[in-house]
Chains A and B, each alone.
Chain A
Amino acid sequence: MSSDFYRELILDYYRNPRNFGKLDPHDIDAKDLNPLCGDEVEMQVKVSPDKDKIEEIRFVGKGCAISQASASMLTELAKGKPLEWVRSLSRDDITKMLGTSDLGPARIKCAMLSVKVLKTGVYGYLGDKYDEPE
């Protein structure tokens, strides 16, 4: 496996995370951790008055560069998007967002933790339950 995915972009978001912190008041609060790595991500979302868009979103967390950069970049990507958009978020979207394609099976979980957290929160808000695909 190559380690080329440690691009400057990822390291920049790791060291200077955008949208880091708690959001109050919020409508959605979801948190999860990757027991394998100990990565932790919590996301809080304020939903728009018409209850269908992500108006504000912030995150807190700790862990590896991949997991934390992914969470931070996802908050930027998600802001202003319809809640339904979250359902369509795929692995490809995340690798594209991170600007990488070769994370490998061991590290893709780190990148996808933030997606899992956001989906869990939004699905719950919409009255659904999110089950992570295998």
Chain B
Amino acid sequence: MLEPTKTVDVEKVRGDFPILRRTFDGKRLVYLDNAATTQKPKAVIDSLVDYYSRYNANIHRGVHQLSIEATEAHEAARKKVARFLNAGSHREVVFTRGTTESINLVRFAWGPAAVKEGDVVLLTLMEHHSNIVPWQQLAKERGARIEYVPLTPDGRLDMGEFERLLGLSPALVAFTQCSNVLGTINDAERLCSMARSAGAVTVVDGAQSAPHMAVDVRRIGCDFFAVSGHKMLGPTGIGALYGRRELLDSMGPFQTGGDMIKEVHVDGARWNDVPYKFEAGTTNIADAVGFGAAIDYLASVGMDRVRRHEVELLRYSFEKLSAIPALTVYGPADPESRGGVISFNLADIHPHDMASILDAEGVAIRSGHHCAQPLMDHLGVPGTSRASFYIYNSYDDVDAFIAALLKAKKVFSV
């Protein structure tokens, strides 16, 4: 049966995830689409039911008992996120809908006042669209220019070019801590330190890193850090932005309306303190509570063990994959320097055909451009197939994945 790795008791973990009991035509679900979204443990699902069953109320200005309980749970979740990222204080954590909205918050609340005509915004070629398009829009609006850090042949940032581009004194350096396609883990601490020396503000996309490894935003030394709850066992529709207090204090609001104000008069308004200044309207209370429950679950496993588990699965997968001719795997070859994401192409099999054949075997993977078209253009492919791991994946899952891959190979006679 399921062979536990040295790091995570997979069989025990799997028992916590009701969806993993689903079968398709008698085949068990092999869920390898974790970079897109993760499954939810019972503890997270229960936290939502509990919230709506026992203490649903609007937060912050309610005097009644339910509102007090809801407010406490919401703010407790914020503190959990703050601890998880090692932020200096819970005031540095803004709840958002996810990484995309977190980055857009920086783009709208920080960008227009900070980026001037002729400024340079520095991105990398391995960014997700959510860390490209907001900056393209800002650059267009402000008359700024975007530069991209190119990649080395094995899918790492070209550090020589990074250093050279920092010479342009960019106003902003935005990069992902872990590529959702290549799996490359960037040295966020080093990149931020270099960017800071060049006078740039830094935005780190943590969507693929925070769920899979221990993150310490203060050690990284970034100005902003964005995460999505649903990629780390939490519900959809909730995420967070870490922002350095000093910057958050100096910024104007994002969206405006209720709850983000201190006082409103007919001729104007004064903004609330951070982080509430950035949370207009009734926020996603239930899912924030669920996000907190997801963090509790991850903390009980331990992020270092999560990371070790995925490295083990990568090592095992690479060993098996290397025996398949005509298979191209993208990104660094060393499991230690990459996340649990395997993007690949097999001969002339289009990624969507690959995903269909794997689906028929009960193996769920993703296929396409993975919201990283500039990277696809750089790789010279229309798309890739992508298998991505999490704590409930086992060696058995890898075996099922490889078997399905060989089936596709046979169907297409390659």
Contact = CB atoms under 8 A, between A and B. Distances in A.
A38 B353 contact: no
Interface string A26-69: 00000000001111000000000000000000000011111000
Interface in B128-187: none
B357 A6 contact: yes
A11 B348 CA distance: 11
B356 A3 contact: yes
A126 B368 CA distance: 35
Contacts of B361: 3
A1 B27 CA distance: 11
Interface string B348-374: 111111001101110000011100000
B352 A3 contact: no
B348 A64 contact: no
Nearest to B383: A38
A63 B368 CA distance: 10
A107 B360 contact: no
Nearest to A34: B352
A71 to B, nearest CB: 13
Q: How large is the interface on A (under 10, 10 to 19, 20 to 34, 35 or more residues)?
A: 10 to 19
A37 B356 contact: no
Given A63-B350, A63-B382, A3 B368 contact: no
A38 B356 contact: no
B411 A64 contact: no
Interface residues of B, number: 19
A63 B348 CA distance: 10
Given A6-B412, A11-B412, A36 B353 contact: no
B359 A1 contact: yes
Contacts of B382: 38, 62-63
Contact of A2 (B351, B360, B367): B360
Given A6-B411, A6-B412, A15-B348, A64 B368 contact: no
A65 B368 contact: no
Contacts of B360: 1-3
A122 interface: no
Interface in B91-111: none
Nearest to B358: A3
A110 interface: yes
Given A3-B411, A63-B350, A64-B352, A38 B369 contact: yes
Interface of A: 1-3, 6, 11, 15, 36-39, 62-66, 106-107, 110
Given A6-B411, A11-B412, A64-B351, 14 more contacts: A3-B357, A3-B359, A3-B361, A6-B356, A6-B357, A6-B412, A15-B348, A37-B352, A37-B367, A62-B382, A63-B350, A63-B382, A64-B353, A110-B352
16 contacts: A1-B360, A3-B357, A3-B360, A6-B357, A36-B368, A37-B383, A38-B368, A38-B369, A38-B383, A39-B352, A63-B350, A63-B352, A63-B382, A64-B350, A65-B350, A107-B356
